[in-house]
């Protein structure tokens, strides 16, 4: 049988391991808290980066839309200028040769009338 002196050292070992377990638990809790803080910081950084990228993409899209609008307006202005020039040329031709213009109009009207019958 074991004597009390044989059991006493085991108790002191157990009480020492319990005492050493407590600092380990505290260290583990501190490490978990640090990991949580790091994860929050990473999440905040990712949120800021994604917000910055979204804003950058929106600004780029707005710039492109304005650029396309300017280009479209430029094309419209050119077409209007060309149409105005053609109109002026047609008016000048009618003034210079009114009989030819009337004959042409009658001829075009006759052809359109023939085409619309079918």
Domain map (residue ranges) of the chain: 9-117
Whole-angstrom Cα distance, residue 1 to residue 96?
139
Q: What secondary structure does DSSP assign to 6-64, as a single string? A: HHHHHHHHHHHHHHHHHHHHHHHHHHHHHHHHHHHHHHHHHHHHHHHHHHHHHHHHHHH
Whole-angstrom Cα distance, residue 24 to residue 20?
7
Whole-angstrom Cα distance, residue 67 to residue 71?
6
**Is 101 in contact with 94 (CB distance < 8 Å)?**
yes
pLDDT in tens, 67-112: 999 999 999 999 999 999 999 998 998 899 999 989 999 999 999 9
Q: At 18, is the pLDDT very low, low, confident or very high (cuts 50, 70, 90)?
A: low
Identify the residue with better confidence: 18 or 104. 104
Whole-angstrom Cα distance, residue 62 to residue 64?
5
**Is 29 in contact with 37 (CB distance < 8 Å)?**
no
């Amino acid at each position: 049988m074991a004597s009390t002196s044989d059991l006493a050292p085991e108790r002191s070992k157990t009480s020492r391991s319990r005492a050493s377990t407590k600092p380990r638990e505290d260290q583990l809790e501190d490490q978990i808290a640090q990991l949580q803080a790091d994860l929050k910081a990473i999440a905040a950084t990712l949120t800021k980066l994604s917000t910055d990228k979204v804003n950058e993409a929106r600004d780029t899209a707005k710039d492109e839309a304005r650029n396309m609008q300017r280009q479209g307006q430029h094309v419209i202005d050119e077409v209007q200028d060309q149409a105005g020039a053609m109109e002026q040329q047609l008016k000048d031709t009618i003034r210079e040769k009114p009989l030819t213009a009337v004959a042409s109009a009658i001829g075009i009207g006759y052809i359109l009338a023939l085409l619309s019958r079918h």
